[in-house]
Amino acid sequence: MPSTPAADQPVTVVTGANSGIGRATAIHLAGAGHHVVGTVRSLDKADKLLAKADEAGIEVDLAVADVGDDESVAAGFAEILGRTGRVDHLVNNAGVGGNAVSEESPSDLYLHVFNVNVCGATRCAQAVLPQMRDRGSGTIVNITSVAGRIAALAQSPYVASKWALEGVSEGMAQELAPFGIRVAIIEPGVTQSSIFAKNIDAPDSSGAYEVHYRRMFQFYAAGIAGATPAVEVGKVIEHAITTDDPKLRYPVSWGGEEMASMHDRISDADWLALGTVEDDGEYADMFERILGIDIRTS
């Protein structure tokens, strides 16, 4: 049976709480004193979250909400607000990947990824913003990616969605500032998560982009070797929510800070030249020079 939050206890909703960053964040925030409601698409998928919460000696409430579906979000957040009376902080974590170069990305793949990663975040924000405006306080935390700053190779649908969510978030931050509502953009690099084991699509349907897909996997292989524990992202989210000196963007995890900070310094000429390098070793050398990350795996 879901518990009732104390009057002075912040109520925080974490979407996609059944795994990875979402699960780690839900458990971390609950341990920090938040009344956490984690959304999942099915209660059957929450066993590991509940087991981890039990191990930590904390409680995470659950609610069913598929962020890709209008009716599911409306019903799920109506249930949450009915239970808790308010939502102080929303962490828009739920998302999907999308590997493919532009030429090989069907329109329905773009639409699916956008629906979950962009429309999903706005659906959830729309569900909680009226009561935040009424109170004159609240936080919307949108988890984008370092790929929302750098066009990661061979992930066109994912990159496009995360760039779009960065734009939505930036606009939302200005829109909501008069109401005392804070927006924080969290930009993870490579973080320990089961998502990478699932993210193995390499369409190469034309046969022309084998090198692009290989280099994408090389980047993630290097990142996984040094991947940041997901709880570190949860700690950054807690800071973004509680700090008296807020920022709009928070790069975090392996490669996040380096690549986000380098983006605005890379010349167009260097960016285009990187795409023409044929030798993998020379590619890794140039990648490190212009992006500050060593992607060599041996």
Out of 110, 158, 213, 283, the active site residue is: 158
DSSP tag of 228: B
Nearest of 75, 68, 66, 74 to residue 42 by alpha carbon: 66
Sorted by sequence, the CB contacts under 8 Å of residue 60 that are 6+ apart come out as: 17, 26, 27, 30, 36, 37, 38, 49, 50, 53
CA of 67: how far to CAs of 70, 92, 95, 137, in Å? 7, 9, 9, 23
Q: Is 213 a catalytic residue?
A: no
β-pair partners for 11:
35
DSSP state of 5: P
Other CB atoms within 10 Å distance of the CB of residue 83: 16
CA distance from start to end of the chain: 51
Catalytic residue numbers?
158
